[in-house]
Chain A
Amino acid sequence: MFIRRNFTTEAELINGCLRGDRKAQQQLYDQYCGKFLAICLRYIKDHDLAEDVMIEGFMRIFEKLSQYENKGSFEGWMKKVIVREALMALRRNKNLMLEVALDQHEENQIHQYEWKGLEADELMEMVHDLPIGYRTVFNLYAIEGYAHGEISELLGISENTSKSQLSRARNLLKQKLADQHLKERRING
């Protein structure tokens, strides 16, 4: 146990990563990979692609770590990097931006990945079922907490489109929640 060096504080961990210490990097990865993959999966449905984006995001975090100036939470800064990476991936795949076509034909895939909490799983599926433009704006605004101005800059759309996409996303989610509620009632009798 003495051989393995642990980074007890966040500052130590950051310094270790800055030095390029592989153990520090792995500890940071182990600590945040689950959260960050969940973020990526909210933007990118495909699990493999989301995982690649997460890896790319970690690479970017390690690269830009020297730019982190201890202002605000470290996790918040890293999350921003990851979200930006996910948006970049969407842009590269040209799937992003106001693709309004509803992909309701998709069958419910059985995920063999380990989910924590069924409720979150259900909500994730609802978010996944949203059209990609709605989903992106909803993720950024409702979950990540970005303002419409920031979203418009990030996605290269007007604030009004951002707002309209958000309200449509909310309406769709409301409908899905209602459907889910009805389903549960029927099952429960």
Chain B
Amino acid sequence: MAKENDIDRLFREKLTDHTVQPSFLAWDKLEGRLSHKKKGPVLWMRIAAATVLMGGLTALIWVSVENTPQELDILADQEPVREYKVPENPTLPDTAPVEVEDAVEEESTSKAVAALPVVKKTTPITVAPAPPTKAANEPEPVAKADIPVLELDDIEFPPMDQDLLMAENNLIDPEPTQDQEVVYKVTIISNGLREKPEKEGLVGEIENKIDKLGGLLGKVDQGFADLQDAKNNLFASITTRK
């Protein structure tokens, strides 16, 4: 054991204070790493600040963009409500106030879902028996008072009408000139629906192009076939000559 300890001691004494000078680049490396570490958080802060700024700007732009069309929507929504409030007043004196009000409310809610102004024009096209009476109700409040109670049962079907109405909006778009209020509504609906025709147009265009290409390819095929025929004829003529 004593010898083993001697070995340990020998190495410890000689090697504990042993020094090896590193290359000159070592300090530069270390300094570079130290300064990099110090600049790190600053860079992170900069990046974070930049992202926050960008987010804020985009949010502001979004809000400003969203606000302008929302004003139009509000105008479109508020105006029809005024329209339906007017017929409510004449019904009040007609002894069936509660039921009629309910009917009007139902009408308004169902129409509110399917673009209120359109209902007036589409009802004649849908050929449903109830809608024309509704249209008649609005201008002639006195006749309504008796009828709406019966119509309540008919109005239960409207989900079908709503789908039809939505599909037929295109037809009604070009006739908004009756009321100024209606004009606003029509533009909103048309904004939503304009995309579809564009897409259809694109598809149609692409189909046309494909057809044209197909025609061209057919011509090329024909030309190729003609060439082959010509070649065959040529070879045939050559071989027969020989």
Contact = CB atoms under 8 A, between A and B. Distances in A.
Contact of B7 (A51, A62, A116, A142): A142
A123 B33 contact: no
Contacts of B15: 38, 42, 120, 123-124, 127, 143
A119 interface: yes
B4 interface: yes
Contact of A120 (B18, B26, B30, B33): B18
B39 interface: no
Q: How big is the A interface, by class? A: 35 or more
B22 A142 contact: no
Interface string A102-113: 000000000001
A35 interface: yes
B8 interface: yes
Interface string B17-46: 111111100110111011001100000000
A173 B12 CA distance: 13
B62 interface: no
A37 B30 contact: no
Contacts of A55: 26, 29-30, 33
Contact of A59 (B16, B19, B27, B34): B34
Interface string A30-57: 1001110110011000000001001100
B21, B22, B33 interface centre (most CB from chain A within 10 Å):
B22
A29 to B, nearest CB: 6
Contact of B22 (A33, A62, A120, A177): A33
A165 to B, nearest CB: 13
A68 interface: no
The secondary structure that dominates the B interface is helix
A142 B14 CA distance: 12
B19 A37 contact: yes
Nearest to A30: B27
Contacts of A62: 34
Interface stretch (A18-26, A83-91, A148-156): A18-26
B161 to A, nearest CB: 74
Interface in A139-189: 141-143, 145, 167, 170, 173-174, 177
Contacts of A30: 27
Contact of B26 (A25, A33, A116): A33
A108 B172 CA distance: 97
B27 A29 contact: yes
A156 B12 CA distance: 24
B47 to A, nearest CB: 22
Contacts of B38: 20
B148 to A, nearest CB: 82
Given A37-B22, A59-B37, 12 more contacts: A22-B34, A25-B31, A25-B34, A26-B31, A33-B22, A35-B18, A51-B22, A55-B29, A119-B14, A120-B18, A143-B11, A167-B4
The 7 A-B pairs at the shortest CB distance, nearest first, are namely A34-B19, A142-B8, A120-B18, A38-B18, A38-B20, A37-B20, A120-B14
